[in-house]
Amino acid sequence: MKDMSQEQKKTQEKELETEVQATPEAENESREESSAQKHESKKDKKEKSRIEALEKEVRELTDKIAKEKDDYIRLMAEFDNFRRRTSQEKLDLVSVAAEETIKGLLPVLDDCERAMEALAKSEDSQAAKEGTELIYNKLTGYLQSKGLNRIEAKGTEFDTDLHEAVAQFPVQEEEMKGKVYDVVQTGYTLNGKVVRFAKVVVGI
């Protein structure tokens, strides 16, 4: 029994020694685990901070791109407006130049009309009449192709948008009152715009 007791004591002493020896190793392992956790925590924080910085940079770049895109769209719109305005100004310039040229030819038309009226009453040769009429028809044909049209005034209601009254004439016919009795000078429109008012005599 004594031997057994001694053996048990020895066994217990060995177990105690083993436990004592194991304790520092366990502490070391625990320290290592704690250090690893701290390292992991620092690494996570560093990674999180880096991700936040990248996200911030992405937001800034996105805002910058959006602003650049908006500026580009505005610039294109301004350029388009400038191009349209320039084109319109060129068209207006050409139109004004053409209008002035055609207006300068209107007295020639008047002279041709007077010449034909005079020739119709004279005993001159038929060739002179036909030649003058040919010139007049060619000239009026060309001007009509450019948008020139006569204002047919005689017998129509007096219209201040088309006619310029130079005289009044008392008429017997009731239906001619307030209407154009006679045309002193032919009026013309160019592409729908009055370039010369018809000078007329109005019946009263």
List of domains in the chain = 148-204 (2.30.22.10)
- Selected residue with higher pLDDT from 1 and 188: 188
- Is the confidence at residue 119, as pLDDT, over 70? yes
- Give pLDDT, residue 111: 92
- Is the confidence at residue 20, as pLDDT, over 50? no
Whether 163 and 180 have beta carbons less than 8 Å apart is answered as yes
Mean pLDDT of the chain: 83
pLDDT band at 174 (very low <50, low <70, confident <90, very high): confident
- Is the confidence at residue 199, as pLDDT, over 90? yes
Q: What is the pTM of this model?
A: 0.57
- Give pLDDT, residue 200: 95
- Is the confidence at residue 3, as pLDDT, over 60? no
What b-and-e string marks burial along 112-151, b requiring 16 or more CB atoms within 10 Å of the CB? beebeeebeeeeeeeeebeebeeebeeebeebeeebbeeb
Per-residue model confidence as pLDDT tens digits over 70-83: 999 999 999 999 89
- Is the confidence at residue 182, as pLDDT, over 90? yes
- Is the confidence at residue 138, as pLDDT, over 70? yes
- Give pLDDT, residue 201: 94
- Give pLDDT, residue 37: 67
Whether 182 and 154 have beta carbons less than 8 Å apart is answered as yes
- Give pLDDT, residue 44: 77
> What does the alpha-carbon distance between residue 200 and residue 159 come to, in Å, rounded to a whole number?
10
Whether 146 and 98 have beta carbons less than 8 Å apart is answered as yes
